[in-house]
Amino acid sequence: MLTKKAGEWLELSVPRDWEGLTIEDILKNAWSMPKQMIHQLRMEKGVRLNGESIYWNTPLAHNDKLRVHLFIEEDYGVQPEYIPELNILFEDDHLLIANKPPRMDTHPNEENQLGTLANAIAYHFQANGVFTKVRHIHRLDRDTTGAVIFAKHKLASAILDRRLEKREIKRTYLALVHGIIKQKKGTIDAAIGRDRHHPTRRRVSQRGQKAITTFKVVQTFVNKKMTLVELELLTGRTHQIRVHMSHLGYPLAGDTLYGGQPIVPRQALHAARISLEHPLTNEKINCEAPFLDHPPIFDNLLV
């Protein structure tokens, strides 16, 4: 689908498979736009067809020019801060995927906090004349590195949130764990809840939230008694991979909260790849996130 940003408007050519549908069909069904957004667009005459405001039940024709008032100026929601480590993997008018370094929060956890990935994204937006709220679609633990998705407007955020919930965004992680895993691949289906004996720790609990992780062994290191594992999240619980691998008896290297040994300065967990369909154009996006540790922790251990 051909789209372009025209000031505060998204302009697109109606594709053949939308022919005969109405504006209401597109907003409600094709995009599943939140009701509040639909109401606002209706009140503000924020949809135009071939340059005119029309009734929303008008059938669309192939190659009609549809405009939607989408790029509304907003406060960033966090304080912009220049952080030279910002590593952008993908960006267009609708979303941004960044590679989060270690020892950095995804977003502020308290008022006026600086030094987070969200602060760096806000500065990047500001420097490029983009005035929109910084919206993370998911997050990574402070000491987990790798790919994080940010939406650049409300519609992209709503679509990506829904796709994440429906498991349509594929997130692939690499972890280095203690022990030799003999099972080549498997699925961990174990609910996760809070540990009432510790303020931040989670644990496998029948009363917890459903949590599913798949894994496969990439490489074993017999002399080091360690295994490199590739994992995919089918749910997004706090500390999910760390809790699940510890529960199996294979805690992550460096993850002292869940039984790992401090042989590296952080838990050896990296969000290595992310795959999704673009929220507006439906093109396939595949991002590989390179390791960012200096000195490298995976490379040092894999010698």
Structure confidence by residue, pLDDT tens digits, 246-273: 999 999 999 999 999 999 999 999 999 9
Q: Tell me, what's the pLDDT at 298?
A: 84
Structure confidence by residue, pLDDT tens digits, 13-57: 999 999 999 999 999 999 989 999 999 999 999 999 999 999 999
Q: Tell me, what's the pLDDT at 301?
A: 63
Mean pLDDT over 125-149 rounds to: 97
pTM higher than the cut 0.85 = yes
Given a cut of 70, whether residue 300 has pLDDT beyond it is no
CA distance 20 to 273: 38
Contact 162, 156 (CB under 8 A): no
Structure tokens at 76: 């960033």
pLDDT band at 3 (very low <50, low <70, confident <90, very high): confident
Partner residues linked to 59 by β-bridges:
22
Mean pLDDT over 237-254 rounds to: 97
pLDDT band at 6 (very low <50, low <70, confident <90, very high): very high
Per DSSP, 22 falls in state: B
Given a cut of 80, whether residue 110 has pLDDT beyond it is yes
Mean pLDDT over 158-172 rounds to: 94
Given a cut of 90, whether residue 303 has pLDDT beyond it is no
Structure confidence by residue, pLDDT tens digits, 173-227: 999 999 999 999 999 999 999 999 999 999 999 999 999 999 999 999 999 999 9
Q: What is the DSSP string of 146-162?
A: EEEEEESSHHHHHHHHH
Name which of 127, 71, 114, 118 is nearest 96 in CA terms: 118
Tell me the CATH class for 171-270: alpha beta
Q: Tell me, what's the pLDDT at 15?
A: 93
| CATH architecture for residues 3-69 | Roll (3.10)
Q: Tell me, what's the pLDDT at 215?
A: 98
Q: Tell me, what's the pLDDT at 204?
A: 97
Spot the catalytic one: 25, 64, 93, 141: 141
Q: Tell me, what's the pLDDT at 299?
A: 72
Mean pLDDT over 102-114 rounds to: 95
Q: Tell me, what's the pLDDT at 302?
A: 58
Q: How many CB atoms lie within 10 A of CB 224?
A: 15
Query: In the chain, where are the structural domains located?
Result: 3-69, 171-270
For the chain, give the percent of residues with pLDDT over 90: 93
141 is catalytic: yes
Please give the helix or strand (H or E) that residue 270 lies within, else none: strand 269-277
Q: Tell me, what's the pLDDT at 2?
A: 75
